[in-house]
Structures are given as structure tokens and as C-alpha cells.
Structure 1
Amino acid sequence: MNGSIKSRGMPLNGIMKQAEASMSNGQRHRQLTLIRVLRGILCLVTLLLTAFMMLIFLAPMTTLILRLFSVHYSRKATSFLFGIWLSLWPFLFEKINRTKVIFSGDVVPREERILLLANHRTEVDWMYLWDLALRKGCLGYIKYILKSSLRKLPIFGWGFHIFEFISVERKWEIDVPIMRKKLSAFKDPKDPLWLALFPEGTDYTEQKCLKSQQFAAENGLPILKNVLIPKTKGFCACLESLRNTLDAVYDVTIAYKHRCPLFTDNVFGVDPSEVHIHIQRIPLHEIPTSEEEAAAWLIERFRLKDQMLSDFTALGYFPHQVTEENLSTLVCLVKSLGVIGLTSLFMYLTLFSSIWYKVYVVFSFAYLTAVTYFDIMPSPVFSSVKSLFCSKKML
């Protein structure tokens, strides 16, 4: 191709425009080769197998046995053990796939309790928030508000449940009691919390954008090009329930260069070449307390986000880039080998050891399936008995 372009005498700016046009039409950053396919399949099988065995062997211990004594320590154990597994994903993105993750905006502190708002450009946005959370020591404490159908995914549905993600039907009449009940369980200030919310409610497409623009025009709202009009009720419910226990709200804007990736693009390492994450830390006192004013504040934030994404398209970067620590290759390898080694041990115990391990696996499978299907988490029975005993003694 380059030879034919050169023979026609096309100027350099013409070549650049042609390259930009091809990328905007969906050309992959890297070619999908047989090696990439095989490597991607190997990575995906490893991730699924390690997730399955760790959930089967460890989840009942952290989310059932330990939770009977303490919700706080149950969450800490779950965060630590399964946060190590989650760190395999940033390792895949940044070290194996060689995707550059570029941060800009505010340098945020570690281990804050925050509500995180992000645009939803594609189906894998939420995975790249793990790269930020890992650097801030909150990878195991990040929780998402996601559509309920995702809980039906094999293996991952179990993981979404033990991490206490909030599943919604995207019908407010159905979702409001579920959200309030779930949010009430996150008020303990001793528990680090990153509650991630995508206010658009769905990922961005041109067709959805046209519908959003029509709705905005009919209701006197800003006409947005790069994001959808945000749904405000979920945001207001989160603020109402958690305002007194949060440190800040993070307004996160995610952009890709040059093509929005699909899940398979991530697995095979063909896209994205760069992920740009812009963070603005907003103290709670700057956000209105009334629902109407908070809703207007959120819509204004998305108007600014839309402008920022337009500028990114023109410039290729967000302003005020900051330096975040790079992931240590050695630490990533140690964690990966630790997870793989643990998985190998669990597989050996299941296949070649005592019959009781097989019984435990069957019990664990049934337990995870049941609690995920019925969306329940065990309560700390012993503390309830103690409080009941104390109340009777006072009487």
C-alpha cells in the first residue's frame, strides 16, 4: 500500500488523512495473527480456569464461613484474595498486549471511599478502571452497578456476586428498592469502597446517540455527540445513601486511540493501542444536595465530558497528563505464578486427593449457584445472636 501511495506522489498530509480515515473505519491497530489468536485463547482459558478454581475453593471460606463472624473481615479477605486474581487483567492489558494506559487530570490519593462516574464508550470500559484501581490499592474493593443479565454469565456471574456488585433491570420502579438495600450495606467507613456507575446506562453507539439527541431536543437538554444523556436517578440514589461516608466523587472520562475495542480485541491484543483516562476529583460539598439540582449537575458534567471527548478526537490526548506508577513486571509475574500455582494445587486436590475435596467442590458449586441466582449474602449470625442476647439482658 505504501508503495502505491508513494508512486502517485501523495503528499505526507494526504497519507496521514488516509491513515486516520482507515482507523476511523474500524481498522485494527495490530493485525490478528495466528500467534495472537493462540496466545489470546491461552490467556482466556487461564483466566477462566483460575477464576473457577479460586471461586470454588476460596469463595465459601470468605463469603460464608468468615462472613458469619464479620462482614468487614469477610470483605477484606475477599478483596485480598480475589484482588490478586483481578490483577491478572491489567497484566494482560499493559504487559502482554502492550496497551498504553495514559492518565491525566487529578492525581488522586490511595484508598479513598469514592463514587466513580464514567462514560460508557464500549463493552470493556469497566475493565480499564481496574488499571486505575490497582494503582490506588482498591482493586478488590471496586464495585459496579451493572445490568442483571450479566449475572447469568458462567463463572463471572459468581464473581460479580461475591464482590457485591449491584445488578439492575434498568427499570427504576424495580431497581429502586434493590439499589437502596444494596447501598445500605456499603455505609461502613472502615470498608474501602470504589462504587463505579455508568450513568448513560448502556454503551455508546451511533443509533443510541441519535435517540439520546432526540430525547434531549424534546426535553430542553444539551445535544451531546460523544456521550448519551445520563440517567440521573441512580446517581442521586447513590449520593443520598452514601454521601456521609464518601470522601469524593471521581468524574472519569475514558477515550481510546484509535478504535474502540471489543472484548475479543482485548483478548487477542489487537486493540486498543492506547487508553486515555482523565480523572477529576470532586469533593462532596461541591455537589448539590437536592435531587433536582444534583441531576442538573450530572447533566452538566456530561456536557463537559462531551466537549472533552471532542477535543480528544481533534488532539489525540487529554490535557494535564500525569505520571502514575508503572505496573511492576516482576510483581505481576509473581502474582500470576501464585494464582496459577494455587489453581494447580486445587485441581490436584479435586482430581487425585480425598473424596472429601470432591464433596467440597460439589457443595461449593451448589452454594455459589444458589446465592448468585437468589442474590443473597449470608448475614453475620453470631453478632446477631450476641445483640439479641444483650437486648434481653437489658430488659
Structure 2
Amino acid sequence: MSNDRTFSTWLDDVEHRRRAAGLRRELRPRTAGSALIDLASNDYLGLVRHPEVLHGAMTALRRWGAGATGSRLVTGSTTEHQLLESELAEFVGAEAGLVFSSGYTANLGAVTALSGAGSLIVSDAGSHASLVDACRLSRARVVVAPHSDIEFLRAALATRSEERALVVTDSVFSADGDLAPLVAMHQVCRDTGAVLVVDEAHGVGVRGEGGRGLVHEVGLAGEPDIVITATLSKSLASQGGAVLASEKVRAHLIDAARTFIFDTGLAPAAVGAARAALSVLTREPHRAAAVLDRARDLARFTGAATPESAVVSVILGDPQRAVDAAAACRELGVHVGCFRPPSVPEGTSRLRLTARATLDEEELALIETVLTSVVAGASA
């Protein structure tokens, strides 16, 4: 049997197993002007088509061109990037910021550059895939802590032989929408000389005063042993990522973060859009509270627990049941997320609903009708 035939057979076998388990994924391109009500996107503040955000993108596009033209260290850094970094840092209460091409590369860059051989990383079991991959690439010893288990975290740090240690976690966990116990985690880090890396992808724009994030909300903004990572693709309606920390951390990442050094800079249009979105949020802080209000509506419609973030999970268990329920919602005019393994643990496949600040009363009425019907049918 040829190598090509062996490879092809392997691909066929893998696809068959995935399909049998209800885990086959398909791309469904959106169409412009779709009438579907969107409860699947991460446009939490409803800014992706805001006139000021579009104007910010177009202004940067005309000024700087379509692409960054190179890595940030060569030609890809513009004054627009620098302004966004300082504005983001000021917003969340950090000393400095560094913009990456995505939230994923921000996490990879921060964790790998701040750890390395001879260090320890303790990662929460619920951490996002980008943090998981960062741990795998770090060359550090990695310990996965049970979700939000403070005593396990304390023991892992207290008994380590390594001089340097990182603790990595989401602030708002992307699948369940629950909050990390950041105050307790930081105290353990402070007691044991570790650094806490917090991914605020789902926190910025939703939690904290005016959407400044969970780190700011719990009074830890600006602490020297906390490193915040964030994405621009959710509440800030654009694309890209950032690390927000001390000036020393920023300088170190410029020298050592491979996903910063060797990656093309974020496109200027995305930078301009993110700056404009941040400006709108700063001027209209009520949008953050509105997200949580709409999330409570979604929880009420589905019988889910009271949410702490924009994310409302409706656990159905079986992957195919979740796929069928999502399809039923779509047929009735509502687009919802469908999370299955490996995105979530086995037996917890779900509809993942994301609230948007700008949902109106007419949309909410239809959403209630659809979700009540579909969830009842899927749970029967």
C-alpha cells in the first residue's frame, strides 16, 4: 500500500469516527444582510457595524493601506498601534500594552516568553485552547489544576522546585461563562512568588466598571505580578490581541515573544476599528451593563443558571442533540452556538448563547419563543 493511500485511508477513518460521534464540523459562510438574530457571535457590545467603528477602520485603511507590510519590529508598527496600546492600558489600569495579531498569538507570546525551561506553569483546567497550546510550547513543567481549585494551586506552587512560576487562567471562562476566583488566585501567587496571567478575552467590555474587565473589578488592576491578555475581536468588534502589563513585561515581550517578533503586525484597519470601539465604550459605559441584562434574559428563557458574563450555556449532553437543537433554532430565525468535544468535556455538549447589548424588545420576543420551544424539545 502506498504512503498516499495510507494517508488517505487514515483521513477517511478519522472522518467516519467523527461523523459517527456527532463531532463533524462544517463551515457555514454568513451572507450579508442575513435575517437571523445572532446569539452566536462575540460582538457583545453590538459595535461591529457601529458607524464610528467603521469610520475608524476606513480612516486607518486610507492612511496606512490594507496591510501592516511587515513584522512590528521591521515596518509593521504604526503610530496607530502605539495609540491603541496606550489607550487599552489606560482603560484596564495597566502600565503598558503590546498589540499582537490575534488574542491567540498574544497568549502564545506572553506565556512562552515569560516561562521556559526550568520554570513551572499551573494552568486552570478550564483555560482556553490558546493558553493550553502556550503551555505545551513553553518547555516549562506544566501542571493542570482542577477548575478554580485554590488549595490545589497553593500546593502545586508551594512544593515546586522551580524558581519561576506562572499561573494561567481565563477571567471569564469561554464555555460556561463563570468567573475565575482572581483575588484568591492572586493571593496565592503573591504568597509563593508566582506571576498570574489572566486572559480577559470575555471580561473586557462586560465585567468591571464600564467594561474594564474582571481584574479591574476585583481591585487588582496595575499589580506588578499580574499580566493581562485580551482580544480585540469580541467586545471591541475588530481583530487582534494585546498584552497589558508593566513596562518591564512589555520590553521583555518585544525581545522574546516569538509570535510578536516573527508575525506580521496587525492590519491598520483592525487597529483603527478597535480604537474607535474602545472610544465608544468609554463614552457609553452602560453598554457593559446591558450585556449582562440581556444575558439574564437568555438564561430566563432557557432555564439556565443566572449568568455572570455574556455567555449562557444550555447543556444538552449528547453532541447530536446539540447539533439538532442548533439547527432547529436556525430554522426558526435564531443563530446559536453549538459546542461539542473537544471544546467542552465529554457529555456536556451544549447550546452556547452569547448576549448582545443591542438586542431590542422585538428580537427578545422572538428569541424567547424559539428558545423556549427548542430547549423544551431537546430536553424531552
Task: Judge same fold: TM > 0.5, yes or no.
Answer: no
Give the structure with higher Rg (CA). Answer: 1
TM bin, normalised by shorter chain, reads: under 0.3
Asked which structure has the greater RCO (Cα within 8 Å, sep 6+), the reply is: 1
Name the structure where strand makes up a greater proportion of residues. 2
TM-score under structure 1 length normalisation: 0.26
Name the structure where helix makes up a greater proportion of residues. 1
TM-score under structure 2 length normalisation: 0.27
